[in-house]
Structure 1
């Protein structure tokens, strides 16, 4: 049996602005290099690449997939890791839970949530699995999803349905571009139809997973309005905020969601992985176990291990087995680094503006367009630009596209939606308009190459 801690403790739409408002935070368990404090806030753009470890000719418009750790954050994390190794037992037994509590306190302050409603999980998929596997499912329960759902989350729901007889999935079809009002209405119509047929089918919607910002395509969803409606209908809401934390302001104190999970290692710039997992007190009785089940789980039927204090939600997540805590703890220096950059508003405003201008420029050079509506509701700091018309718009091209993008040392999130390929471009503080112009050139070269290959194959088969 593996070791564990002897004791666990816990501590207590973009709004334009010309001035950044740094987030007030408690002391960090480990901090950024001292030299940063003597430097003025930097100018956003390609000059900021000096604070990342990118190879000189690599152009990264795919920050949204796996994140990109700033060098000062990486240095702070590695230094803390080295200190942990000086006495790992002491850290695990006496310090880990306390330092993790400080991280939770910072994250809770960022999203306006009580600290005892926030824990850290490895990633959003992990956190959402925690929710779905804790729910007590009954025959007739429906899990409501969207057709744009992230693949691992759809598969988790499918697995739940596979092993719980009588549980089924229902998907709401989404075709972008559309409007937030139309999405909300689709949800309402779907719920109304299920309720109308409930007496005949014996089925009802128990839970729905809604993305704050969908993955592919990268589209802002009206999750707050949807969750408010679900609350009125008695439907549990799980928000997949994998892309929202660090990309848009998040206020969980005023939201009606039942569960929320957002990755810190994507847009918040911590080391991968680490996720803010929010469960309000009213729902903590539903999450009896972490995933995997921790040493602090309490079984009423098999109370083998005597408890000396009351069960708490947070305690379940302090220790789920031996892991490297350094990535979780890197969230603090990542937030320090963002404060040094100018704060959340300054970062969001720059990235959003670049997404709009960069996406428009790429679309202009490719002769295509952007996947958005007239109100601009769908674009945050990721913008979806259609591939050229001469591109072979066949879904099976995915592997070839990825290979060619790697050959050009350039990355976007290439996706297929409604019969067309598109580039999901992530605008970040180390990017500028020239990255989008370079991206347009690469995508056009790939399009021309694939078109030529298709023509040659047609000629050979004739």
Structure 2
């Protein structure tokens, strides 16, 4: 098949933004905006919610879509499966995992649902799902649905986290929950936990949590929605039971695309994709599969074609990883820049607001590309004002910063990315300060 004509990579000119050495770094910061299609009147300080994809990769996305329109049967039946395998191979290599342990799904929520809905829960009403109080809302709702619809077969136990906490305190809270589950006559069957939680956006000690699960015979399901492209992930070393991570966020793959990892030892548990499609093997025997290209792995076949959906984004994974290497210098440089910018940018924003960044003494919570900055508002103001502030950010300042309450205080979550620099965090500090002053003047009450 003919290949898409790639645009030439821009010349790399050094940058000293946030202390990055001029002779070793690509041009990170606002000049990197040339590769994206953001409205020039807006600032994207919320990469963590929906991600963004470079123009060059989005052109490749459209190219795949055009091929599907030009010759649907030839492309969808015979060509796309091979390109999909190349994408799986590329992301598997990035995550240090065997290719046939990874498949692609629309997003992390679908991945979490796929695992939870495939588990054979026991009939003795002892199975319990452990999760942390900072769980992503959709995943929390999935657990609630399973509990509500299980007719008492499944229960759930929350591990309460109130930050700041050291990693040891998080682990201690998990161990207490496991012990409490046993004492109550339950069986901790599975633990669902994040790499980087959403709100507040902090790094959990997911490596240690995975180890505790393995030692106690609990299935580990890692929600790495904020994961690949933001932090280093080594699945061979980590060895979780299940792992899912969005590719359309920090990795720059177009929406919507996520990687679902299931080691070979657990693949028999995942009997069906979500929704069930041609790859499912019923107990009565295989039905006719109209798609001609199959893999040797039943697990991979299950996810190769899940109904007629636009999966063009899946086909862009390999090209996106190559683009990150060619244009941005590779994963190590990207991660170093965005994590450094989040740390230094958070300090800058907090200094303007006269507040602080949410972190612990060891700084382990902030080893990621997001920062959480306290707002200078009292509890009464923050309860009333957050919705108005977020809407006003869009209408008056042409930006969006998620605001959330934690530990009786209102916080702002700001994302660092290669197209941002320290000036963006300074600007964010000033508009947040102005919004807080407007709240104190009662403007939010006049709506």
Deviation at 1:378, TM superposition (A): 0.8
Does residue 142 of structure 2 align to residue 150 of structure 1? no
Are the structure 2 counterparts of residues 31 and 183 from structure 1 closer, same or farther at C-alpha, using a change threshold of 3 Å? Answer: farther
The answer to whether the Cα contact below 8 Å between 1:67 and 1:269 also exists between their aligned partners in 2 is yes
Task: Specify the alignment match of 1:134 in structure 2.
Answer: 118
Deviation at 1:325, TM superposition (A): 2.1
Q: Provide the C-alpha distance between the structure 2 equivalents of 1:447 and 1:245, rounded to a whole number of angstroms.
A: 34
Q: Provide the C-alpha distance between the structure 2 equivalents of 1:428 and 1:230, rounded to a whole number of angstroms.
A: 33
Task: Specify the alignment match of 1:221 in structure 2.
Answer: 204
Does residue 274 of structure 2 align to residue 252 of structure 1? no
Task: Normalising by structure 2, report the TM-score.
Answer: 0.91
Are the structure 2 counterparts of residues 137 and 168 from structure 1 closer, same or farther at C-alpha, using a change threshold of 3 Å? Answer: same
Q: Provide the C-alpha distance between the structure 2 equivalents of 1:231 and 1:238, rounded to a whole number of angstroms.
A: 11
Deviation at 1:291, TM superposition (A): 0.7
Which moved further from structure 2: 253-262 or 323-332? 323-332
The counterpart of 2:222, out of the listed 233, 239, 243, is 239
Alignment of 1:83-94 (within 5 A): 83-94=67-78
Structure 1 unpaired stretches of 5+: 1-27, 458-462
The counterpart of 2:40, out of the listed 49, 56, 62, is 56
Alignment of 1:218-367 (within 5 A): 218-301=201-284, 304-305=287-288, 312-340=298-326, 341-367=328-354
The answer to whether the Cα contact below 8 Å between 1:73 and 1:334 also exists between their aligned partners in 2 is yes
The counterpart of 1:413, out of the listed 362, 382, 402, is 402
Q: Provide the C-alpha distance between the structure 2 equivalents of 1:29 and 1:273, rounded to a whole number of angstroms.
A: 25
Task: Specify the alignment match of 1:34 in structure 2.
Answer: 7
Which moved further from structure 2: 327-336 or 243-252? 327-336
Q: Provide the C-alpha distance between the structure 2 equivalents of 1:87 and 1:303, rounded to a whole number of angstroms.
A: 29
Are the structure 2 counterparts of residues 260 and 176 from structure 1 closer, same or farther at C-alpha, using a change threshold of 3 Å? Answer: same
Deviation at 1:45, TM superposition (A): 0.7
Name the Cα RMSD after superposition. Answer: 2.1
3-state SS of paired residue (1:205): strand
Deviation at 1:309, TM superposition (A): 9.3
The counterpart of 2:374, out of the listed 380, 386, 397, is 386
The answer to whether the Cα contact below 8 Å between 1:213 and 1:241 also exists between their aligned partners in 2 is yes
The answer to whether the Cα contact below 8 Å between 1:144 and 1:207 also exists between their aligned partners in 2 is yes
3-state SS of paired residue (2:441): helix
The counterpart of 2:86, out of the listed 102, 106, 109, is 102
Deviations 1:126-183 (A, max 9, x none): 0110000001123221111111100000000110111112211110100111111110
Are the structure 2 counterparts of residues 403 and 270 from structure 1 closer, same or farther at C-alpha, using a change threshold of 3 Å? Answer: same
The answer to whether the Cα contact below 8 Å between 1:207 and 1:235 also exists between their aligned partners in 2 is yes
The answer to whether the Cα contact below 8 Å between 2:390 and 2:401 also exists between their aligned partners in 1 is no
Task: Specify the alignment match of 1:188 in structure 2.
Answer: 175
Are the structure 2 counterparts of residues 32 and 160 from structure 1 closer, same or farther at C-alpha, using a change threshold of 3 Å? Answer: farther
Are the structure 2 counterparts of residues 173 and 436 from structure 1 closer, same or farther at C-alpha, using a change threshold of 3 Å? Answer: same
Deviations 1:320-360 (A, max 9, x none): 10011211112222212210210001001111111111100
The answer to whether the Cα contact below 8 Å between 1:96 and 1:325 also exists between their aligned partners in 2 is no
Task: Specify the alignment match of 1:402 in structure 2.
Answer: 390
How many equivalent pairs are there? 425
Structure 2 unpaired stretches of 5+: 14-25
Task: Specify the alignment match of 1:430 in structure 2.
Answer: 419
Are the structure 2 counterparts of residues 372 and 147 from structure 1 closer, same or farther at C-alpha, using a change threshold of 3 Å? Answer: same
Q: Provide the C-alpha distance between the structure 2 equivalents of 1:391 and 1:32, rounded to a whole number of angstroms.
A: 55
Deviation at 1:262, TM superposition (A): 0.4
Q: Provide the C-alpha distance between the structure 1 equivalents of 2:175 and 2:145, rounded to a whole number of angstroms.
A: 26
The answer to whether the Cα contact below 8 Å between 2:159 and 2:177 also exists between their aligned partners in 1 is yes
